[in-house]
Homo-oligomer: A and B are copies of this chain.
Amino acid sequence: MTVESTAARKPRRSSKRTGSSAGKAVADPQLVQLLTPEGQRVEHPDYDVDLTPEELRGLYRDMVLTRRFDAEATALQRQGELGLWASLLGQEAAQIGSGRALRDDDYVFPTYREHGVAWCRGVDPTNLLGMFRGVNHGGWDPNSNNFHLYTIVIGSQTLHATGYAMGVAKDGADSAVIAYFGDGASSQGDVAESFTFSAVYNAPVVFFCQNNQWAISEPTERQTRVPLYQRAQGYGFPGVRVDGNDVLACLAVTRSALERARRGEGPTLVEAFTYRMGAHTTSDDPTKYRADEEREAWEAKDPILRLKTYLENEGHADEAFFASLEEESETLGKRVREAVRAMPDPDRMAIFENIYADGHALVDEERAQFAAYQASFATESDGGFAAGEGK
C-alpha cells in the first residue's frame, strides 16, 4: 500500500447514515471531521460538540499524558523492563475521544492497544504494564472501572461485548457497551458474528474500529476492498467513518452512537480513520513493509498538534497550562518508570492459582507436588540456590 492508495479511498460525502456504493469506492460519505489537521474548527451537519475551554484542555491533557505514558512504556521495553509494548502512538484522538464519550456505567471491551481508553476509565496506567512485563496476563479488576481485560486473540472481545450488551438490555439498564477492534480484526469470523448477534438482539453496543491502516505488515486492502464502515449496513445498522485523529469528532460520533444504543436502537459501527505511527509492537520492524513517506504524511495530521493549535488560536490555553502539563507528564513518566521497576515477580506458586473458582483435584495435586519439588532443593546441601535454576 502506498500513501496514494490510502488517500484514494478517502471518502467524499458525509452522512450519519451509511452510503450506497457497492463494489467501488465512489460516493462514500466523507469522514466526519470537526477539527481539521490545521486546527480549524469546522461544522458538520450531523455531529457537533459544545465544550468549555476547560473540557477542551481536559481532552488535550488526556492525549498528552497518554502519549507520554506510551513513550515511557516503549522506553521501558527498550531498557528490558517490559517484554513487549504495543504503542498507541497516533491513535490518541480516537481513544480519548471515544473514551471520554463514555459514562461510568458503560462497559469497555478493549484490544491490547487501548491505553488511552484505559486512561479515560481511570485504570492506573501502571496496571496495564503487568502483562507486557510478563508478571500477569491482565492486572486489573475489570469491574472496578468497567474496563475489561485486554484481549489478544483478534476479534474475540467483540462477542463478549455483544453478550454483555445483551445482558445490559435484559437488565433494563440504559448503559451502553463499546467494543474496540482493528482494521485487521474486521476479517475475523467472530467480528461478523458479533455484528449478527448485536443486530438480531438489538444490543446496545458500539463497535469502535480503529482503522490504523495496518495489521502488522498488511495494509487495510488485505482485509477489505471497500471502506470498513460500510460493513455495518449489510447487517442492518449504521456505520460511520470519523477522522480518527480528530478528538472532537471522535467524541461527537461515539457519543451519538452510545446515545443511539441507550435509546434501544441497537448497534453502530464507528470506523475511526487513523494511523499507527509506530511499529505494530516493539518486536516489529515496519521498515520491512512500509514507506517512510506514508508515516510523514500522517504526521501532518497529528491529533495532539491540531488541538494545541486550536487551543492556542482560540486563547483557550496559556503558557502556564502547557508548562504545567509538561511537568505533569514528566511526573507521570517517572511514576510509571518507578512502578514498573518495583513491580515484583509473581510468586511461583501463582502458577496454580485462580485456574478454577471452585478448585480442581488435579491442580491441588500438582500444586502440592510442585511445592514438594521446590522444597527438595531447599533441603539440599547447596542451600537451595539450585531452585531458581530448575529450568
Residues of chain A whose beta carbon lies under 8 Å from any beta carbon of chain B: 17-23, 186-193, 196, 199-200, 202, 221-226, 230-239, 266
**Residue from the list B17, B23, B224 in contact with A200, Cβ < 8 A:** B224
Q: Report chain B residues within 8 Å CB of A233.
A: 20-23, 226, 230, 233-234
Q: Report chain B residues within 8 Å CB of A226.
A: 199, 233-236
Q: Report chain B residues within 8 Å CB of A192.
A: 189, 191-193
Q: Report chain B residues within 8 Å CB of A17.
A: 22-23
A200 pairs with B188, CB closer than 8 A: no
A223 to B193, CA, bound (A): 10
A21 to B225, CA, bound (A): 20
A23 pairs with B236, CB closer than 8 A: yes
**In this complex, which of A21, A189, A221 has the most chain B Cβ atoms within 10 angstroms of its Cβ?**
A189
A202 closest partner in B (C-beta):
B225
A226 to B238, CA, bound (A): 12
A319 to B275, CA, bound (A): 71
B234 pairs with A221, CB closer than 8 A: no
How far in angstroms is the closest Cβ of chain B from A69?
34
**Residue from the list B23, B224, B225, B234 in contact with A231, Cβ < 8 A:** B234
Q: Report chain B residues within 8 Å CB of A186.
A: 196
A155 closest partner in B (C-beta):
B189
Q: Report chain B residues within 8 Å CB of A223.
A: 196, 200
